[in-house]
Amino acid sequence: MSETKSAWYFIVNPRAGSGKTMSEWVPAERLLEQKGIPFVTAMTDHKKHAITLAREAAAAGYRRIAAVGGDGSLHEVLGGICSWCDESGTPPEEFCLAVVPIGSGNDWIKSCDVPDDVQEVIKLLANESFGRMDIVRATSRDGRVTYMANCAGTGFDSHVCERVNRQKERGLRGRMIYLNALRYTIFHIKPISVIVTADGQEVFSGEAYSLALGNGPWSGGGMRQVPLARNDDGQLDYMIVPRARLRKIVKEVPRLFAGTAHESEFILSGRCTSLQIAPLDEASADLVEFDGEVEGRLPMVIGPTGQQIRVLKG
């Protein structure tokens, strides 16, 4: 077994934040040195490379691992740590996870009260400002295992993410790609037929446009689909938007930004320790997104594992 190392292992995504990562990370390295924080830097050079780097860092004895990027980078780093812990039998509680927010999507930091400011984040690191976060594991079609840091979704959510990610792969950046994906999906999305079971009890059966799941409340650059979610309470929050006329659904949209979706008489909300989503037909075996990354299809079982990981918190 490798000797445990005290240094931080920073996994840097140079393509995050519309390519601004390096211009912000180089000054951050100087500040880390000034603060006397020992660290190692590794650069990703392709999608999902952060998963491999995080696994290698964990195997080498690093227990303080940080993603330099956005929610997608954090998702990969968490996945690398947790998959290695599952295989090695190492408790995730041994690890500290942080993110230096240089990305186009920074929803996770809101759940942890971490400022969207690189210098302030480094101050938190220097002050050892940590809390705990539940480990949430999902098993989807064909036994695919994924770990969720913040939010997941199927239906509307996953198709918006898929369209946004396709545009990013073509080199497009900026807020407009999100707005364009949102508009397109609103007018082209088709409902899926599913059965949703929470802690062994059926809570929904029928056609739905969207199902959102949250370890934390924030998603989509400012929405709160599951506003009561807390990432250290051992619970998973969910929200279901049943099929209805477009006019009725549009009327409910402001609730997603106001944090009042759970007060709607139309939107279904709840909390559980295990959630199962099963498609009623093959056409409804829809895509699933985790932290903005499309990974897997229905059916899916998801919930907290009962384990936690230490995370940077403000």
Phi, psi for residue 55 in degrees, rounded to 5: -65, -45
Alpha helix (H) ranges present in the chain? 21-34, 49-59, 71-88, 108-111, 118-126, 156-169, 175-188, 246-258
Do the beta carbons of residue 13 and residue 69 sit within 8 Å? yes
Question: Is the confidence at residue 17, as pLDDT, over 70?
Answer: no
Q: What's the mean pLDDT when you consider all of the chain?
A: 92
State the Cα–Cα distance between residues 92 and 58, nearest whole angstrom: 10
The structure's pTM equals 0.94
**Owner of token pair 């660290």:** 39
10 Å CB burial of residue 260 (0-12, 13-18, 19+) is: middle
Residue 43: which pLDDT band, with cuts at 50, 70 and 90? Answer: very high
Predicted local confidence at residue 179, as pLDDT: 73
Predicted local confidence at residue 113, as pLDDT: 94
Average pLDDT over every residue of 166-174: 73
**Predicted confidence (pLDDT) per residue in 256-308, tens digit:** 889 999 999 999 999 999 999 999 999 999 999 999 999 999 999 999 999 99
Do the beta carbons of residue 155 and residue 211 sit within 8 Å? yes
State the Cα–Cα distance between residues 208 and 194, nearest whole angstrom: 7
Q: What are the structural domains of the chain?
A: 5-128 (3.40.50.10330), 139-306 (2.60.200.40)
Predicted local confidence at residue 76, as pLDDT: 98
Predicted local confidence at residue 132, as pLDDT: 98
Average pLDDT over every residue of 122-144: 97
130-to-81, 189, 219, 300 alpha-carbon distances in Å:
17, 40, 22, 31
Predicted local confidence at residue 175, as pLDDT: 65
Predicted local confidence at residue 173, as pLDDT: 66
Phi, psi for residue 298 in degrees, rounded to 5: -65, 150
